[in-house]
Amino acid sequence: MARPTRQAALAATLLVTCTMTTTMLMCTTASFATASASPQGRRFSLPWSRPTSTNALTPVSSGSSDTSTMDVPPASDPVEAFDSLARGGAAAAAAKKVTKRSIVKGASAVANNNNKGGKHGTVKKQGKKKMVKKRMRESSKKLSGSIHRLPETATSKTTAAKGGGGGDTMPSIFRIPSEEKYDRYAAALAVTEGLRRVRDAEVERRMEEIKSGDNNSNRGSGGGGKAQQIEQAKKRAESAFLMQNTKAVKALGMTVTQFNQIGREVLADNALKERVSEQAYLYRIASTINLERVPLLSDPSSKKLLQSHKRYRVQMFARSITEIEDLRADQMEALRQSLAVERFPPGFDLSDPNVQPLLHPEVRAVCEKFPLQAEEIVKRYGLESDEFNKMLEETKGNPIFRWRVQKYVEKAEEERRKEKEA
């Protein structure tokens, strides 16, 4: 038998080594297949995306460097599981050898820097927060810009131009905070007054229709006379009135009980009742008059008319003064004759309140009657007492007006003298 050469020995050694390596690899892969066939399964980091089925795995594109963690589904056949894992492991090993992990700028880099705890990671994190806030502000600006404002009406423009709270306020008699309930009650009265008129008009209309027999719906209805129909119409109108009143009172922030209680308080006080009535009248006028104020038209004839009217009032004032002086002179002459004196002491004023208690009762009665008679004369000439007193004060302080009045007085005396002579 020939002795084996050196080359043959090396070939035999290599064959034995390959056989042992193949046996060990088969044992290792068999153990992996058994583990993957268990119900728990095993987690592996493979460069593959999540499969859509257990038979096919879709590889990720070569440009991606991220590795996804995948749960290996349990396979019914160990050989199938071994096959998939063997191919996956080889691909992973090849990917690790061929490609290197590239640094990706973005969230992963920021996360790595934050994990390191360096300064750059904190700066990038703060920069990201600022960017998010900036985008939120931009989106809010876009949203606010997309919402258009409603057009302003003429009334709102007028109110805004007036400024403050004077544009939409009401003149109120009740200015004390404790009297606010009476102000609300007056507003409720202003509303209910219109509803009351509607109720009365409806009842009156129904009564006219029933009495005249023009209501065709009631002609064919049997039973019940006109009195019953009128009563039903009154009840319907009253119920509608009460329902509308309740809505109005609640809209003004009061309950029906509060409204009735305030009504009893107002009825018990006559002065308060008058004030509430005046405030309700103001509310009704304000709701009726809703017109814009316009400047007055220039009219030269109106100025002449106004001047002539003032001249006429001055003439009436002069004539009333003349007649009052005549009345005073007649009464003084009658008093002098009744007292049988030639003249009264100089500076002795009978109309002085301090002197009247010292006078005789008859003289005091004449002096007390004189103001009433003078007021009748003033009214006869179309003047009021306040207007007369105002003109009288003006004659004391305004020499021009006093001169005008004196001229009209002299003219009035001349006319009266001519009438007596005629």
Element (H, E) at 16: helix 6-37
Helix 399-421 to helix 300-339 angle, to the nearest 10 degrees? Answer: 60
| Per-residue tokens: 48 | 């593959």
Residue 23: predicted pLDDT = 56
Which of 338, 318, 340 lies closest to 405, judged by CA? 318
CA distances to 66, 233, 323, 382 from 121, rounded to whole Å, are: 21, 86, 108, 98
Listed residue (229, 205, 207) closest to 218, CA to CA = 229
* Per-residue pLDDT at 252: 81
Question: If pLDDT is split at 50, 70 and 90, which confidence band does 64 have?
Answer: very low
pTM comes to 0.30
pLDDT at 264 over 80: yes
pLDDT band at 22 (very low <50, low <70, confident <90, very high): low
Q: Rounded distance, CA 189 to CA 282, Å? A: 11
**The one-letter amino acid at 168:** D
Q: For residues 265 and 271, what is the distance between their CA atoms, to the nearest angstrom?
A: 11
Residue 143 main-chain phi, psi, to 5 deg: -65, -45
Distance CA 402, CA 389 (A): 14
Contact assessment for residue 84 and residue 29, using Cβ atoms and an 8 Å cutoff = no
Q: Which residue is associated with the tokens 């409204």?
A: 259
